[in-house]
Each structure stands twice: as C-alpha cells, then as structure tokens.
C-alpha cells in the first residue's frame, strides 16, 4: 500500500512527508502499518510523516479505563503504542516516525532519548526550554503549576514491530487544551498540559515543521 500523497522531500533513506488538512486516525494507522511492513520486508525508505488528526482520544498499552473521564462524543480507541491516554486534534503537530532499528542499533533507550533530544532542540529554536522527567516519557516545561510545577508540552508513544518503529511524538502548538479535561493525560496527576500558545509563544505550524526537519538528522543521521 503506498504512503499518502502529499508534499514530499526524499533524503537518503528517509521519506519526509507533510500531510495537509485533518487526517482520520484509523486510515493513517493502516497506512503507517503498511509502510512499516515494507521497511521491514523490502528495505523501503525510513519515513517521518507530519500531520494533524481529527479529534480523538487514544489509549496506549498502559491506559487505564478509570483515566478516561468524560470524552463525550469524541472517539476513543485503544492502540498498540506505549503510554496511556492522550488526545490528538487540531493545533497539535503529530510526527509519525518509522525507523529501522535493525540498521540503527537495537537500543530502545537510545531511541527514546533521541526523540526527546529532537523535541528539546526543536522547542529551543523558539526559546522554549523543554525538560525531561525521570521515567516519564515526553517533554515538559517549567510553568510553576500543579504539584510538580511542570506542564507537559510534548508526548512520546512508540511501538516497535520487529525492530521497526511506528507511532511517534505529538507537540502542542495551539490546540484547545480543554480537550485534556476529559482524561488523565498520560496518567500524570501532579502536572498539567500546556502548549506554545498557552506559554505566549506564537509560532506557525510551518515554522515548527521546519525546526523539526532541521533538527531531526542531528539525532537520527541518514543511513549510509
């Protein structure tokens, strides 16, 4: 199955795609799974897809039913990535990352560290200091809110199938943060969720995409 048609720049061993409009979750999930199978089976190019989804709540392998509070009419589905409940929708940049760890080294910790570094470096281009928290994947900023004083601005949820990665990261640019009131986001109760716009940092989606593209090869160099 071919990947979605869109603006495409092909680097060596990496297909970088930016999909316009709001994308249906299940359709993208099916196409991503097919691409991952092609990478594993046929040695197809690795890929990064940038997109926004129609509103949806997704629960990872650690999602608890009691953390899904009041989703209303927004669809809720369980998926095979790591992590707990999160929201996807307009104003949030999702990056699906399909990398072949058979060729990059079978090191899951290094993969997650690289994704965190990629996000931190991209946020840093706009003066936003991204922070890690021990044993809590994702990136946080110091807002002084809640018990921890930290709010989450980016999530990481990865699945690895025979050492090829899929799913990826989500960065809150300017979504409606009210959507997170319906869940316990990522199972975290000592901090909240924030975004570029909530921090008073006005950045376009184009600018964020450019930063992500510029920073990516620093942490995931092209394959020879």
Residue 189 has pLDDT above 50, yes or no: yes
Is it the case that residue 3 has pLDDT exceeding 70?
no
How do the domains of the chain map onto residue ranges? 7-219
Nearest to 23 by CA among 63, 50, 44: 50
Task: Produce one character per residue of 165-199: b if its CB has 16 or more CB atoms within 10 Å, e if not.
Answer: bbbbbbbbbbbebebbebbbbbbbeebbbbbbebb
Question: What is the pLDDT at residue 176?
Answer: 95
Q: Which is it for strands 56-59 and 76-78: parallel, antiparallel or unpaired? A: parallel
Choices 3.30.930.10, 3.40.718.10, 3.90.1010.10, 3.90.1200.10: CATH for 7-219: 3.30.930.10
Evaluate if residue 111 carries a pLDDT over 70: yes
At 151 the pLDDT is: 93
Which residues have a Cβ under 8 Å from the Cβ of 50 and sit 6 or more positions away? 16, 17, 18, 19, 93, 94, 95, 209, 212
> Mean pLDDT over residues 17-46, rounded?
96
Q: Does the pLDDT value for residue 117 go beyond 80?
A: yes
Residues with Cβ within 8 Å of 65's Cβ and at least 6 positions away in sequence, in order, are: none
The whole-model pTM stands at 0.91
186 catalytically annotated: yes
For residue 156, the model assigns a pLDDT of 95
Q: Choose the catalytic residue: 29, 186, 193, 208.
A: 186
């Amino acid at each position: 199955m071919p990947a979605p048609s869109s603006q495409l720049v092909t680097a060596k061993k990496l297909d970088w795609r930016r999909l316009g409009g709001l994308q249906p979750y299940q359709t993208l999930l099916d196409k991503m799974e097919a691409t991952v199978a092609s990478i594993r089976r046929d040695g197809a190019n690795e890929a990064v897809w940038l997109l926004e989804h129609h509103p949806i709540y997704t629960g990872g392998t650690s999602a608890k039913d009691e953390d899904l509070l009041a989703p209303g009419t927004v669809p809720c589905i369980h998926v095979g990535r790591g992590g707990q409940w999160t929201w996807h929708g307009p104003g949030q940049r999702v990056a699906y990352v399909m990398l072949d760890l058979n060729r990059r080294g079978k090191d899951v910790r290094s993969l997650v560290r690289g994704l965190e570094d990629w996000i931190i470096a991209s946020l840093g281009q706009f003066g936003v200091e991204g922070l890690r928290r021990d044993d809590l994947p994702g990136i946080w900023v110091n807002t002084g809110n809640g018990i921890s004083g930290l709010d989450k601005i980016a999530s990481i949820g990865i699945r690895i199938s025979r050492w090829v990665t899929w799913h990826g990261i989500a960065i809150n640019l300017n979504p409606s943060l009210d959507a997170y009131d319906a869940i316990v986001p990522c199972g975290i109760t000592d901090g909240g969720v924030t975004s570029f716009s909530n921090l008073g940092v006005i950045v376009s989606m184009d600018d964020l995409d450019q930063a992500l593209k510029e920073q990516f090869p620093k942490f995931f160099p092209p394959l020879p």
